[in-house]
Amino acid sequence: MSDDYDDLQLDDQPDDQLDEVNVDDDLDDELRYDAAEDDGALRDVDDEADADRTAALQDVHFGTSWTVDGTSEAGNPVEWSTTTNAYHDEKTGEQVEPK
């Protein structure tokens, strides 16, 4: 199989990775989150500018939503979600087409 792949990447998950033999009951320490190694993890957010910037980054990364014109079939406000790229009923969360 290796001849079929070049060196740009090609890491097709080998079969043995799907094998239970590969499962280690002991968690790898490298995969644990150590707050002590991350001075920002538990910091207090007392700087408004920092908080605004963090929120702006999160809006881009996780998505956000805005209330838009129109209502749902149920008459509720409608929001546009950048996470789902769709309109949702603000009260029920259901995907809708605003009227």
Partner 1 sequence: MSTSTVRRLDTGTADGPTSRTAGLMSGLRSMPLFRQVVPMEALVGWPIPARHNPGWDGRTAVYLKFPLYGYHRPARRGEPTRLLPPFAMLTLNWANGAPVEFVDFRYSRPWPITATPPVIGEFPHAAVRELSGGDYLAARVRLAELYDGLFESLGDGSGFDGEAELADLLGRLLEPCLAPYYRMIAPRFAERFLGAEQE
Tokens in use for 37?
A: 């190694």
Residue 30 lies near partner 1 (rule: CB under 8 A): yes
61 CB neighbour count, 10 Å cutoff:
8
Residue 21 lies near partner 1 (rule: CB under 8 A): no
- CA gap 3, 1 in Å, rounded: 5
Residue 15 lies near partner 1 (rule: CB under 8 A): no
Tokens in use for 55?
A: 């929120």
Residue 80 lies near partner 1 (rule: CB under 8 A): yes
Identified binder of partner 1 from the candidate list 63, 74, 91, 99, rule CB under 8 A: 63
- CA gap 12, 6 in Å, rounded: 12
Q: How far is the CB of 62 from partner 1 (least distance, A)?
A: 7
Residue 17 lies near partner 1 (rule: CB under 8 A): yes
- CA gap 96, 86 in Å, rounded: 8
Give 11's Cβ-side CA count (13 Å radius): 2
Q: How far is the CB of 33 from partner 1 (least distance, A)?
A: 5
Residues that bind partner 1 (CB under 8 A): 4-13, 17-18, 20, 22-28, 30-33, 38, 40-41, 43, 45, 48, 50-63, 66-69, 80, 82-86
